[in-house]
Structure 1
Amino acid sequence: MGFGESVATCFRRYATFRGRASRSEFWWFQLFGSLAWVVTVVVASALWLAAFEGAARPTEDPAINPDSVSWGPLTGAVGVLLLYTLVIGVPLLAVTSRRLHDVGMGAWWLGLLALGLGIVLLALAVVEGQRGANRFGPDPRIVRGVPAPA
C-alpha cells in the first residue's frame, strides 16, 4: 500500500476501530499526520503570535487587561488545533487501533497514550502482524485471495 492509498483508506475508514491495518497503511498515514501537524503548528503559531502583536506593553498580562489580546486570531489558533484533532487525530487513533489488532492486541492499549507512553505503541507498530485471520478479522496483506509478497 502506497502513501496515497493509505491516506485514502484511513479517511474512508475515518472512525473505524474494528478490523486490521497493515504496517504500510499505518506508517504512511503516520507520515501524513506528521506533515499535517507541521503545517498546523506553523499556522497556529502565526495566529497565536498575531493575537499578542498589538499589545500595548510586552509585559502586560492578558489576564489583567484582556484588551491587550486580539481574540480573533487567538480563537483561530485554537480552532486550527481543534480542526487537526478532528480531521487527522481521529483517523490516527483508528488506524493505530487497527494496527494493534493486526499484531493480536486489543485497542485498550491506546490507553498508553494517556500515560505518555506512545512510544510503546510505535514499537508495537513495527512488529509484523499475525499471518492469516485472527480474532480481529482477516489478514490485511491478503488482497482478493492473493497473498502479498513477504
Structure 2
Amino acid sequence: MESGNPFNYYVKAIKNYVTFSGRATRPEYWYFFLFNIIVGIIVGGVGTFLGTDLLKDLYTLFIFLPCLAVGVRRLHDSDRSGWWILLPVVNIIFLCLEGTAGENRFGPASN
C-alpha cells in the first residue's frame, strides 16, 4: 500500500474485516486505530446531538471484527500468535514493536 494517504489503511482494514491470516504493518494498524478513534468521536458527537446511543452502538458492532482482525494481523507481523490479542496489557507492547523483516511463519511482509 502506498504511504500517500493514511486513510487508505482504515479502508483496507474495513475491507479485510474477516481476514485473520497474513500480516499488518505498524502504520497500517496505528493509522487504522487513529481513524477509528476519530470516526468514533464523530459518531458519538452526532449521537449525542440526536439524543441517542444507537449510532454509537451500531458503529461499535460494525467495527468490532475489523479491529480484531487488524490486531491479529499486527501480532502476526511480529511473529506472534493472534491469541495474544486476548491479553490487553501484553499485546499493547507487541503491537508497538517492529515487525519481523522478510517472511515469517505468517507469510511475507505486507506493503
TM, length-normalised to structure 2? 0.83
Give CA-to-partner distance per residue, 1:2-35, whole Å, 9 cap, x none: 4122122112212211110000100110001110
The separation in 1 between residues aligned to 2:22 and 2:10, in whole angstroms, is: 17
**Cα gap change, 1:132 to 1:32, in 2 (>3 Å):** same
Other-structure match for 1:148: none
Other-structure match for 1:65: none
Other-structure match for 1:136: 106
Letter paired with 1:8: V
Structure 1 stretches of 5 or more lacking a match?
51-72, 142-150
Q: Are 1:101 and 2:47 an aligned pair?
A: no
Q: Based on CA coordinates, which of the two structures has the bigger radius of gyration?
A: 1
Instruction: Give RMSD over aligned pairs.
Output: 1.8
Q: Are 1:92 and 2:70 an aligned pair?
A: no
TM, length-normalised to structure 1? 0.64
* Shift, 1:41, TM fit: 2.3
Other-structure match for 2:35: 32
Structure with the higher helix share, 1 or 2: 2
The higher relative CO (CA closer than 8 Å, separation ≥ 6) is in: 2
Identity of aligned residues (%): 37
Q: Are 1:125 and 2:95 an aligned pair?
A: yes
Other-structure match for 1:82: 57
* Shift, 1:95, TM fit: 0.6
